[in-house]
């Protein structure tokens, strides 16, 4: 194991994130899920109504094309349903299926087990990560020429 004492915080954070993602992917592969798919399902499970692909991508903070690939995989596993938008028949809206709701519940348990084993104080870690995401998201929105705003 390398000496991580000299690593910058950003490297520690990105390495930890990649390792968590790899752990998720390994544990969820049998269900046809990836970390990206879990995040998309989580967003849909909390939505009160079907959402456009662009809205989901915006909520997850990825490009629309990236979300399209993720949604195609989820649709192939019958975790989501795409339907014509009631307001614009040229576009589609996405909703979670009953099977998708079941699998996201199982995926949340996987999340708890991975991080419970790794984090000493999981609640404190969550609060600190929420602060980082919140502050950096604000900084990103305020930069001129930003595409995501």
Give the per-residue pLDDT at 37.
92
Cα 31 off chain centre by = 16
Residues of the chain with pLDDT under 50: 144, 146-149
Give the per-residue pLDDT at 149.
38
Cα 4 off chain centre by = 27
DSSP string, 123-138: HHHHHHHHHHHHHHHH
Domains of the chain with bracketed CATH? 10-118 (1.10.10.10)
What's the rounded Cα separation, in Å, for the pair 51 and 99? 18
Burial tier of 21 (Cβ tally within 10 Å: 0-12, 13-18, 19+): middle
């Amino acid at each position: 194991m390398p000496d991580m004492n000299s690593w910058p915080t950003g490297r520690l954070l990105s390495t930890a994130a990649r390792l968590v993602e790899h752990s998720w992917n390994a544990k969820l592969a049998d269900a046809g899920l990836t970390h990206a798919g879990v995040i998309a399902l989580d967003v849909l499970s909390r939505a009160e109504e079907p959402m456009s692909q662009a809205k989901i991508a915006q909520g997850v903070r990825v490009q629309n094309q990236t979300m399209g690939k993720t949604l195609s995989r989820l649709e192939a596993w019958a975790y989501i349903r795409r339907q014509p938008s009631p307001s614009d028949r040229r576009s589609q809206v996405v909703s979670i299926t009953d099977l998708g709701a079941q699998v996201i519940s199982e995926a949340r348990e996987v999340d708890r087990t991975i991080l419970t084993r790794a984090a000493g104080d999981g609640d404190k870690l969550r609060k600190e990560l929420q602060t980082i995401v919140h502050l950096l998201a604000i900084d990103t929105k305020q930069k001129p020429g930003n595409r995501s705003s």
